[in-house]
Amino acid sequence: MIEFVHPWCFALLLLPIAVYYFWPAYKERKSSVKVPFFSRLVELTGEKPASGSVILNRYVLQKLLLVIGWIFICIAMAKPQYIGKPITLDKSARDLMIAVDLSGSMTEEDFQTLSGENVDRFTGVQTLLADFAKQREADRLGLILFADSPYLQAPFTNDLETWLTLLNESEVGMAGQSTALGDAIGLAISVFEHSQTKERVLLLLTDGNDTGSRVPPRDAAQVAASYQIKIYPIAIGDPETVGEEAIDTKVLNYIADTTGGKLFEAVNAKQLNDIYDTINTLEPQKYSSRSYRPKTSVHHLPIIALLVLYMGVLTLVALRNIYQSRRLKAEVSHD
């Protein structure tokens, strides 16, 4: 399909007609002598006519070329565009931030893998997170690591390979030993502030209680709710642990209830894997579709056609003049 960016340019088609009627060509009457035997007269007098005394009349073909040429010029000025078939692009409709606790307690080797082997908590979380991320190809994933302070390891991205690399390069203790749970939520909120999507989800994986946040987790949860951020806390490890390493399920429940999320608990790989399946059900992948029709400018085609036509007509006129010149010489020599 062809459409024109400046269709008003077609009004210029009437411009030559207006010029012809309102600004006609200058004409002057002069006396002249018509000689029906011009060639014979030239031969008898021995005079040769100069080039300035020859008046070139426009042929019908030349007049037609002027009309067609002006039409092509007006078409080019209207800037025709070829509209291609619709192309639909699917993009992520959800931003999913994953915050992982890197406090010292994550080194406890009480996390049982699917094969029955005991590994440290962070290794088990790391392995299953990689599998979970591969199932969220429609989402933009982010990664926050927190202990003494939270750090943005990966901003929201569709590049799953880079996200997995940054996750695998993480180590327990690289952010400290304590658990700044509230500050981790606060950092996630600041990252979500720059997000354009309305679907905002935070997975909060921790094995302890808040021990060093400047912002209390409950206050952070209230702010997150105002930004429409849904938080799913996941408690890793033994829920019966006491002391500083005890899991504060009351706070985690408050965070989940305030933001519209849900609290999960996992002591082994099977439970954590089931939690990820549940989250996939609660938060199915979403796509936002955007369609557009590619536009290709073809305004140069009328100009090319005009040049080709002009060169063709110019060639025909030149050949005709050559033919008439030779014919005139032949007549003179014959006489």
Residue 222 is predicted with a pLDDT of 94
Is the same domain home to 127 and 269?
A: yes
Contacts of 190 (CB under 8 A, 6+ apart): none
Question: For 102-140, how does the pLDDT look when each residue is reduced to its tens digit (9 = 90+)?
Answer: 888 888 887 888 887 888 888 888 888 888 888 887 788
Residue 286 is predicted with a pLDDT of 63
Expressed as residue numbers, the domain containing 79 is 2-25+35-47+58-85+295-334
Per-residue pLDDT band for 304 (boundaries 50, 70, 90) equals very high
Indicate if the pLDDT at residue 241 is higher than 70: no
Exposed/middle/buried for residue 193 (C-beta within 10 Å: 0-12, 13-18, 19+): exposed
CA-CA distance, 284 to 301, in Å (whole number)?
49
**Number of structural domains found in the chain:** 2
Helix, strand, or coil here: 60? helix
Residue 224 is predicted with a pLDDT of 93
Q: What's the average model confidence in pLDDT over 78-96? A: 78
Q: Contact 153/144 with Cβ under 8 angstroms?
A: yes
Is the same domain home to 138 and 224?
A: yes
Q: Is residue 219 part of a domain?
A: yes
Q: Is residue 53 part of a domain?
A: no
Q: What's the average model confidence in pLDDT over 293-316? A: 87
Is the same domain home to 178 and 313?
A: no
CA-CA distance, 96 to 107, in Å (whole number)?
26
Is the same domain home to 268 and 329?
A: no
Is the same domain home to 319 and 283?
A: no
C-beta neighbour count of 314 within 10 angstroms: 12
Q: Is residue 30 part of a domain?
A: no
Is the same domain home to 134 and 80?
A: no
Indicate if the pLDDT at residue 328 is higher than 90: no
Question: For 194-240, how does the pLDDT look when each residue is reduced to its tens digit (9 = 90+)?
Answer: 887 888 999 999 887 788 788 889 999 999 999 999 999 998 876 66
Q: Is residue 129 part of a domain?
A: yes
Q: Contact 247/208 with Cβ under 8 angstroms?
A: yes
